[in-house]
Amino acid sequence: MSQQQRYPWSAASATGVGSWPGEEPDETMRTIVGELPDLPHLPELPARGAGADMIGRAAGLLVDLPVEVQPTGWRVVDTPGRDLARAGSFLSYDLDALTEHLHAYEGPLKIQLAGPWTLAASIELRNGQRVVSDPGAHRDLAESHLEGALAHIADVRGRVPGAQLIVQIDEPSLPSVLLGSLPTASGLGLVPAVDRIQVEAVLRTLFAAIAETGAVPAAHCCAAGVPIDLLRRSGARALSVNALLLERAHDEMVGTAVEDGLGLLLGTVPATDPPASAPAPGPARGSAGSSLGGPSGRPAADRGMSDPATIVDPVRELWNRLGFSPDLLSRAVVNTPTCGLAGASPRHARAALKAARDGARVLRDEPRK
C-alpha cells in the first residue's frame, strides 16, 4: 500500500477528540467545520445534561438494554424512560446539525462512541454494582453496544454519504478495568480485574464489525497507562492518546503500531483554560492527569498555545526516538487536543483547534527541526 493510500486522512491533518463546551449543536458544528475542514468530527455537548455526555450518548444507542439516570449514575432498568428519550433527542439534534453542514462533504469524518468496557465500568446493575463486575451482564452489554454502534454508523453514513468514516471508540476506563482499580458500590473494595484476553476478544469483535462496514476503527484513551499493544492486537487501525502522557517505556509499543500501519491521533494542545493566576499568554493544563511532564521534560502547564512548534515538540521528539522517516510524520500523525474540550471556555476551545491545526502544519513543514 502506498504512503498516500495508507491513512484515511490527508497530510498535516488535525481534529478534535470529542466533547465541546456549550449547548448549541448548530453553532458547534459550524465552528468545527470551519476550524477542522480536513478532518471534522461529530462533537458531544455534555453541558446540556445527562444523555448528552459520552456515557449517555452510548447508553442511548444500546439495543434492548434500557438504562436510566440514578443519583450515582446510569443504571440498568426494566423499561426505557424519559432519560433515554432525552439522550435520543440530543443525538438527533447533533446529527441534524451534522447533516446541515456536511451533507455534501467528501472526505474523512470522525465520530466517537464510548466503548463497551468504559460503559461496563460506568453503568450499574439493578443492585448498584458495576456491569463490569458481572461477566454475563457485560457480555450482554457488549452485544447490545455492538448492535447499536452499527446502527449509528449506518445512520451517519446515510446523512453524509461521501464521508470516509473513522469510528473512534472511547475507552478512558480501560486501564482501570485491566488493573482492577475500579471501586465497588460500597467504596470499600475493588472490582476484580477483567482478563486481558477477554477484553481483547470483545474489542476485536467490535473493531472487525466496524471495519466490515467500510469505516476505519479507531480507539481513544487519554488516561495514563493506555494499553497500546492490546488495542493494536484488537484490530484498531488508529490510536488516539495524550502525547504528554507517553513515556519512553511506550516507544516500542508505539513503534510497533506505526510499523503495522496504524495512524496516530496525538494530543498535544491543552484541553482546558489556563489557571487564572497564569501569566498571559497563559498555557493551559490538559485533561485530568495531562499536566504531567511530557517527553520534553517540561510540564504541560509551561507550554502555551502561541508557538505551534513548541506545542508539537513531544511528537517530534517521540518520532526522532522511534527513528521513522520524517516524511512519514505528517501522514501518520493527526494533531489533537489532549482530551475532550467540554471543560474549556468557548474561546479556549476554538483556540485549541487552531493550535492543533497550526501544530499539524509544523509536523509537515519542519519535521527535522
Q: Are 249 and 335 in contact (CB under 8 A)?
A: no
- Which helix (H) or strand (E) segment is 2 a member of? none
Question: Pick from 226, 224, 216: which is nearest to 253 by CA?
Answer: 226
What string of H, E and C letters represents the secondary structure of 325-365?
Answer: CHHHHHHHEEEEECCCCCCCCHHHHHHHHHHHHHHHHHHHH
How confident is the model at residue 6, as a pLDDT? 85
Residues 70 and 93: their CA atoms lie apart, in Å, by: 24
- Which helix (H) or strand (E) segment is 217 a member of? strand 216-221
Residues 270 and 250: their CA atoms lie apart, in Å, by: 21
Strand partners, 107: 163
Looking at residue 16, what DSSP letter applies? -
How confident is the model at residue 367, as a pLDDT? 61
Residues 94 and 52: their CA atoms lie apart, in Å, by: 10
pLDDT digit string, tens, across residues 260-305: 999 999 999 999 998 864 454 444 333 333 333 333 344 343 345 7
pLDDT digit string, tens, across residues 173-210: 999 999 999 999 888 899 999 999 999 999 999 999 99
318-324 long-range contacts (CB < 8 A, ≥24 apart) are 318/243, 318/246, 318/251, 318/254, 318/266, 319/367, 321/248, 321/251, 321/295, 322/251, 322/254, 322/255, 322/258, 323/255, 324/255, 324/258
How confident is the model at residue 125, as a pLDDT? 97
For the record, the C-alpha cell of 150 comes out as: 452499527
Per-residue pLDDT of the chain in tens (369 residues, 90 and over written 9): 344 448 999 999 999 999 999 999 999 999 999 999 999 999 999 999 999 999 999 999 999 999 999 999 999 999 999 999 999 999 999 999 999 999 999 999 999 999 999 999 999 999 999 999 999 999 999 999 999 999 999 999 999 999 999 999 999 999 999 999 999 988 889 999 999 999 999 999 999 999 999 999 999 998 889 999 999 999 999 999 999 999 898 999 999 999 999 999 999 999 999 886 445 444 433 333 333 333 334 434 334 577 889 999 999 999 999 999 999 999 999 999 999 999 999 999 999 999 999 999 999 987 654
Q: Which domains can be identified in the chain, with CATH numbers? A: 3-365 (3.20.20.210)
- Residue 125: count other Cβ atoms within 10 Å of its Cβ: 16
How confident is the model at residue 186, as a pLDDT? 85
